[in-house]
Amino acid sequence: MTNILVVTSSLRGAEGLSTRFATEIAEGLKARSGGMLTTRDLSTTPLPHITPAYTEGRMVPLDIRTPEEQQAVALAETLVQEIRAADVIVIGSGMINFSLSSQLKAWIDHIVWPGVTFAYGEAGANGLLTGKKTYLVTASGGVFSEGAYAPLDFQTNYLVRLLGFIGLTDVETFRIEGTAYGPDAANAAIAAAEAQIRSAIERAA
């Protein structure tokens, strides 16, 4: 049985294109594999931003953590366990000011954990969340995959590299971009994404 984790973060909720297509991928894979689907919707249930209670609490043994540290670390442990339990991870991200939303960044800040999701060795950093397939869906009003605005893409490029840092190196990316360039451009971007996602689901079956 395949365990699938879908993480969505669009401020528009279910109407956001990144959420729509990330959910479509996750549900399509679940239908074909008969797997289990876990949803982490960061828009409807946002995570707190990390504080010293987390960054300091994770460095000390459980029996000497303060109540605040115990709560903060327990939340991060839950998020990491969701990833560890997943065979497939689907992430949806809508661009905000050339980058990802603060909701998704809060999730990342909780799961990038020294000694837990990555470790340093003689050859440098090693990601510890290996052997998983990741689908990344990013949405943006402009076009950032190429052209004049490509240097301002601090969303897709950042996420691919960050995921790789913690061991999620098998990442398939879907960009829905140019949707602010009028109805024709938006419809074309959506149609292209739908075709790419259908193909990905069929290949995964």
Annotated binding site for FMN: 10
Q: What is the DSSP letter of 117?
A: T
CB-based contact 8:41 (threshold 8 Å): yes
d(CA 134, CA 143): 23
Both tokens of residue 116?
Answer: 């837990």
CB-based contact 17:11 (threshold 8 Å): no
Annotated binding-site residues read 10
Nearest alpha carbon to residue 15 among 108, 125, 94, 103: 94
Query: Alpha carbon of 157 to those of 80, 122, 136, 168: distances in Å?
Result: 22, 26, 11, 14
